[in-house]
Structure 1
Amino acid sequence: MHLLVNIFSESWQLLLEASAYILFGILIGGLLKVFLSPSYVARHLGQGRYSSVLKAALLGIPLPLCSCGVLPAAAALKRQGANNGATTAFLISTPESGVDSISVSYALLDPIMTVARPLAALISALIAGCIENTFNPPRPQLAMAADLSCAVDGCCSGIDCPPAEHANHHSFPEKIRAGMTYAFGELWGDLAGWFFAGVLLAGMISALVPDDLITTYLGGGLLTMLLMLAFGIPLYICATASTPIAAAMILKGVSPGAALVFLLVGPATNMATLSVLVGLLGKRATAVYLSCIGITAVIFGLTLDWVYAAYGISAKAVIGQAGEIIPYPLQLAAALLILALSIRPLVATIRRRLRKKADGAETGCGCSGGCEDHGEKDKTT
C-alpha cells in the first residue's frame, strides 16, 4: 500500500511539472494548425528524404518546448504532412535545446557547454531523422495527401481557392478560437491516453530508483556515461530545470561529459514521451529515436571530457541557481486543467477499445481521432 502511495505521489509530481509545458505545447499545436499552411508543411517537411529532416531539426532548436510539450506540436506537424524522419528530428532537437535553456546554460555552466548542448541536439536529430527516412523513405503521394482544406471551418478545399482570397475569409480571433478548439479537442484527445500511461510508468520508476544513485560513481569514462544514460532515459525533467542540476553535479565531481549526457537525455526522453511516440510514429521509429539520442549523447559526452582534459579547461560551473520558472499555484492549476480536459477523451478511448474488443476488431491503434496517417505509420511497425 505504501509503495502504491509513493508511485501515485511521484506520478502526481511529474504531472505537476509537465502540465504547464503540455498546455503550452497544445497551444503551439493549435496555432500551428491554423497559422502554418499545410501545403508549406507538406512541401518542406513532407518531401525530401534529408532536406526535410534538416529543416525540422533547425526549426526545433530555438523552440522552448520540453519532451512532453513538444508532443502536441509534433503531432500537429505530422498530421499536416510532415514525414516520419522530419517529425523524429523535430522531436529530438526541440526538447534538448531552446532559447531559454541555452541562456540558462550560459549563466550556470560555461560557454563550451552552452555551445555543445544545441550542437549535440542538432546532430542527434539529423542522424535519427536521416536513418528513419533512409529505411522508410517519404512517399510523395502521402505527403501531398495532407489535408489542405481551411483549418478554421473547412470553407474551402485549399486547392480551388486562391491563397490571397482565402486569407480574407477569417479574422484573427476566429483563427485563434479554431486553433484552441482543435488543440484541446482532437489533438489532446489523440495524446491523452498515451501520456497518462507514461506518467504512471515514470512514477513507478521514480518511486523505485533511489535518487542518490544518480550522482554516485559518475567521475568520467564510458561507464559513467552509460550510468547517466540509464538514469536519464526514463526520468522526466525539462531542459531549463535540468541545467542547475547539471551544474550541481559538476560541482560535486561529475564530469562535464556525464553532465552533458544528462542534459541531452533527460529532457528528450521519459516514459510519457516514449509511450506517446509508439502511438504517433510506430515502434521502429521510436527505437531509432531512442537509440540515436543515447548513442550520440554518449559520444558527445566522451568528446566533451576529452576537450576539457586536452586543453586543461576547468569544468567548475558558475555558482548560481535558476529560480522556479513556474510557481506552484500555476502548476496546480495546469495539472487540474489537464485532468479536466482529459476526462472526455480518456472515457471515449476506454469505450472505443472495449467496443472494438467486443467486436473482435482491436487494431492496437492508440489514437482517439481519425488517424489519417496510419497507413504510413504501420510501415514503421
Structure 2
Amino acid sequence: MELITQFFAALYELSNAMAPYILFGLAFAGVLHELVPETLVTKHLGKESIGSVIKSTIFGIPLPVCSCGVIPLATSIKKSGASKGATLSFLISTPITGIDSILATYGMFGWVFTIYRVITSMFIAMAAGILTNIYDKEIIEDVQEEHENSCCANTCSSTSEVEQKFSFSKAMNYAFVTLLGDIAKPLFWGLLIGALITIVIPQNLSDILVEYSWVSYLIAIAIAVPMYVCATASLPIAAALMLSGVSAGAAFVFLSAGPATNTVTIGVVKKMLGTTSLYIYLGTIVFGSVLFGLGLDFIFDINSIDAASLIHMQEEAGLLEILSSIVLWGFMLFFIIKPYFKKLP
C-alpha cells in the first residue's frame, strides 16, 4: 500500500512540474505550425552543402514533430530535391527538440540544461548531415513510404502548396487535437514509467549506476535506440533516472538518442537514403549522445553540481500547476480511450 501511495505522489509531482509548460508549448507549436509553411522548408535544402545542412537543422529544431511524424515530412523534403545530408539532419534535429519539449525541459531542468540540449542536438544533426554529404553521394531512387502503415498515419503533415491565412482555431486544433493526440500515449506512459522508476529502482542499483557511470550509458543507449519515445514524453523518465541517482550525462543520452531513433525510422532511413546513411545516422546519434553526455557529467563534476538538484518539482504545487495537470491528463485520457469507443457497435 505504501508503494502505491509513493507512486501516485511521484506521478502527481511529475505531472504538476511539466503540465503548464507542455500546454503552453503545444499552443505555441500550433501557432508556429500555422505561420511556417512547409514549402519554406523544402526550397532551401537542395544543395549538398554545409549551408543546406545548417538550414535543415535550424528548420527542424522548433518544429513540433515526433520521430515518427517526421517521416512523411522528410520524405517530402527528399522528393522535393533536398540532399541526403539535409534530409538526415532534419530527421535528427526535428524529433529531438520541439517548442513544446524545449519549454517542458526548461520547466523541469532549468535553462542551462535546456540550452545544452538544444545546442548539442544541433551539433549531432549537423555532423550527421555533413558526413552524409561527404561519404554518401551515390544516387538512390526515392521511395515513397506507405504512411498509412506508420505509427502516425493520422497525423502526417500535408505538403500542400496552397497558401492559407492564419487561423487561430486551426492552430489550436493542430496543437490540442493533432499534436497532443500524437504524443498522448507516449506521454502517458512516460509519466507512469517516470513515477515508477522513482520508487522502484533500489538504492543499491542506483549506487552501482553512480559509481560505474559507463554502465548507465550502455543501458540508456540500449533502451533508447529501438524504443519509440517522443522528446516531451522522455522528460519524466529522464527526471526519474536522475532522482534515482543516475548521472545527468546518462539521462541526457536517453533524452538525445531516444526521440531521434526508433525501429520505424531506422527502416525508413535505410530504404530512403541507403545503408551508408543509416550507419552514419545511428553512429552519429550514439557517439554524439555519449560524447555530450560525458561532457555534461564533466561540467557537473568540476562545478560540484548535483544532477538531482536541477529538477524543479515543488512539493506544494500552485493552482496553475494543478489545473494544468488536470487539463493535460484529461486530454491524454481522452485520446487514449477514444479509439476504443470507435470500435463499439
Q: The TM-score by the shorter chain falls in which range?
A: 0.5 to 0.7
Calculate the TM-score normalised by the size of structure 2. 0.62
Residue number among 204, 219, 224 corresponding to 1:227 in the alignment: 219
Q: Does structure 1 residue 319 correspond to structure 2 residue 320?
A: no
Q: What does 1:290-305 correspond to in 2, within 5 Å?
A: 290-305=282-297
**Hey, what does 1:105 align to over in structure 2?**
105
Residues 1:218 and 2:209 aligned together: yes
> 1:229-251: CA deviations, max 9, x gaps?
11111111111111121111111
- Contact kept in structure 2, 1:120 and 1:300, CA below 8 Å: yes
Give the 5 Å matches for 1:100-249.
Answer: 100-137=100-137, 172=164, 217-219=208-210, 221-249=213-241
Structure 1 residue 276 displacement after superposition: 2.1
For residues 321-373 of structure 1, what are the alpha-carbon distances to aligned partners after superposition, in whole Å with 9 as ceiling and x for unaligned? Answer: 99447523324547999x9xxxxxxxxxxxxxxxxxxxxxxxxxxxxxxxxxx
Contact 1:221/1:302 (<8 A) preserved: no
The answer to whether the 8 Å contact 1:53/1:86 transfers is yes
Q: Give 1:206's aligned residue.
A: none
Counterpart of 1:274?
266
Listed one character per residue, the Cα deviations across residues 162-192 of structure 1 (whole Å, up to 9, x for unaligned) are: xxxxx9xx7849xxxxxxxxxxxxxxxxxxx
User: Structure 2 vs 1, CA of residues 228 and 46 (structure 1 numbering), >3 Å: closer, same or farther?
Assistant: same
- What's the TM-score, normalizing by structure 1? 0.57
1:128-177 C-alpha deviation (Å, 9 max, x unpaired): 000000013488xx99xxxxxxx86xxxxxxxxxxxxxx9xx7849xxxx
Aligned residues of 1:49 and 1:137 also touching (Cα < 8 A)? no
| Residues 130, 251 of structure 1: alpha-carbon distance in 2 compared, 3 angstrom cutoff | same
Aligned to 1:10: none
- Indicate the SS of the match to 1:237: coil
- The separation in 2 between residues aligned to 1:171 and 1:300, in whole angstroms, is 40
**One-letter code aligned to 2:297:** D
For 1:329 and 1:336, the matched residues in 2 are separated by: 10
- Does the C-alpha gap of structure 1 residues 302 and 35 become closer, same or farther in structure 2, counting only changes over 3 Å? closer
Decide which structure has the larger Cα Rg and report it: 1
Instruction: Answer whether contact 1:48 1:138 (CA < 8 A) is retained.
Output: no
Q: Contact conserved, 2:201 with 2:244, CA < 8 A, in 1?
A: no
| Aligned residue number for residue 288 of structure 1 | 280
Alpha-carbon shift at residue 123 of structure 1 (Å): 0.4
How far apart are 1:103 and its partner, in Å? 0.8
Supply the RMSD in Å over aligned alpha carbons. 3.5
1:95 maps to 95
Deviation at 1:37, TM superposition (A): 4.0
- C-alpha distance in structure 2 between counterparts of 1:118 and 1:224, whole Å: 22
Partner of 1:312, secondary structure, is coil
Aligned to 1:85: 85
Cα gap change, 1:123/1:261 in structure 2, threshold over 3 Å: closer, same or farther? same
Once residues 76 and 171 of structure 1 are traced to their aligned partners in structure 2, the CA distance between those partners, rounded to angstroms, is 17
Q: Contact 2:97–2:118 at 8 Å: present in 1 too? A: yes
Unaligned ranges ≥5, structure 1: 1-23, 144-150, 153-166, 174-210, 340-381
Matched residue, 2:42? 41
Find the residue that maps to 1:228 and give its secondary structure: helix
User: Cα distance, 1:311 vs. partner?
Assistant: 1.0
Shift of 1:308: 0.7
Residues in 2 aligned to 1:109 and 1:171: alpha-carbon distance in whole angstroms: 38
Q: Is 1:256–1:301's contact at 8 Å kept on the other side of the alignment?
A: yes
What amino acid is aligned across from residue 279 of structure 2 in structure 1?
Answer: A
- Quote the offset at 1:100 in angstroms: 0.9
Matched, 1:330 2:330: no
Q: For the Cα contact (< 8 Å) 2:64–2:99, is it kept in 1? A: yes
Amino acid at match of 1:319: M
**Cα-to-partner distance string for 1:285-310 (whole Å, 9 max, x where unaligned):** 11211110000000000110010110
Check conservation: 1:57, 1:93, Cα contact below 8 A: yes
Q: Distance in 1 between matches of 2:336 and 2:276?
A: 34
AA aligned opposite 2:273: L
User: C-alpha distance in 1, partners of 2:112/2:279?
Assistant: 30
For 1:318, the aligned partner's letter is H
1:187-233 deviation line (CA, Å, top 9, x unaligned): xxxxxxxxxxxxxxxxxxxxxxxx87998643253332122111111
Q: One-letter code of the match for 1:41? A: T
SS in 2 for 1:218: helix
CA contact (8 A) 1:49 1:134 kept: no
**Matched residue type, 2:302:** A
Are the aligned partners of 1:46 and 1:81 in contact in 2 as well (CA < 8 Å)? yes
* 3-state SS of 2:131 partner: helix
